Amino acid sequence: MAALTLAERFRLDGKVAVVTGGGRGIGRGIALGLAECGADVAVLARRQADVDAVAAEIEGRGRRALAISADVLDWDAVPAALDRVVAELGGLDIMVNNAGGNLDRRMHPLPEITLEKFDEQLDLNLKTKWWGSQQAARRMPDGGRIISIGSIAAHRPAPGFGVYSAANYGLISLTRTQAVELAPRRITVNCIAPGVVVTEMLRETMRITDEQAHERFDGIIPLGRTGDPMDCAAAAVFFASPAAEWITGQFLDVAGGQPT
């Protein structure tokens, strides 16, 4: 077989991908980016209307799609969803553990956070990504790509978001260890850490509008603007592609040069 050209090494033709939290924001951007580069994509999120809409966009790009309504905090839901992907799309090559954040869109300072909220934050932002990675790897007999979406909050104090920050710091270690453990099976494991990306979750958590978000954050980002979901999609496509077949265990900031 002829060697791929450099341009071809960024294509995902014939690959099957899953994106959790793919109904909105960064997850939607990643799902569409993978489809634009040739992958068939299963979109998993809690709201059926959201995943249906993204699946329709994927199909509009000429790719196959599955819209799966499931909660990543339901520990039976992800294995069942991945089994459906394998059965209906013919395999699993790329797993993007994107779902995360904070369910109630509120800040929780460490001196005040409850045990229940502490556990919820760890489950949503760390445990689900380990579980998704483990279950995906079991369905990748011929190698594959696992990509988790974290945050640059891993690198800094995060008043009001301390457990979220700690979970993302833990994701660095999780990613590096999984990368070594899965390397013999030709499965790479990498993490993307977005900076300030203006999404519905950011607006609701910070109680600000798009315009206020840009006024607040654009000036503190060295490249002069907040992020867009497609900035994160570009990094995900790279890690998922043949171009990154010799890259694993990495934690890549996608943050416009924002100091960490």
CATH number at residue 24: 3.40.50.720
- Judge contact between 221 and 257, C-beta under 8 A: yes
**What pLDDT score was predicted for residue 71?**
97
What whole-number distance in Å separates Cα of residue 64 and Cα of residue 13? 11
22, 54, 163, 164: the active-site residue: 164
Q: For residue 206, is it within any domain?
A: no
> pLDDT (tens digit, 9 = 90+) per residue, 114-147?
999 999 999 999 999 999 999 999 999 999 999 9
Q: For residue 146, is it within any domain?
A: yes
Q: For residue 222, is it within any domain?
A: no
Provide the token pair at 214. 């840009």
Q: For residue 125, is it within any domain?
A: yes
Write the DSSP string, 202-245.
HHHHHT--HHHHHHHHGGGSTTSS-B-HHHHHHHHHHHHSGGGT
Q: Which residues of the chain are modeled with pLDDT < 70?
A: 1
Q: For residue 24, is it within any domain?
A: yes
- Judge contact between 9 and 31, C-beta under 8 A: no
Q: Is 164 labeled as catalytic in the residue annotation? A: yes
Distances (CA, A) of 204 to 102, 103, 195: 10, 11, 17
Alpha-helical runs (H) found in the chain = 25-36, 48-60, 77-89, 115-122, 128-137, 162-182, 200-206, 210-217, 229-240
> pLDDT (tens digit, 9 = 90+) per residue, 34-57?
999 999 999 999 999 999 999 999
**What pLDDT score was predicted for residue 1?**
57
Q: For residue 17, is it within any domain?
A: yes
Least Cα distance to 107 among 154, 165, 149, 25 occurs for 165
**What pLDDT score was predicted for residue 201?**
82
Least Cα distance to 229 among 46, 47, 57, 9 occurs for 57
**What pLDDT score was predicted for residue 2?**
74
Total domains in the fold of the chain: 1
Q: For residue 4, is it within any domain?
A: no
**Which domain covers residue 184, as residue numbers?**
12-196+229-254
User: pTM, whole model, 2 decimals?
Assistant: 0.95
**What pLDDT score was predicted for residue 76?**
98
- Judge contact between 138 and 85, C-beta under 8 A: no
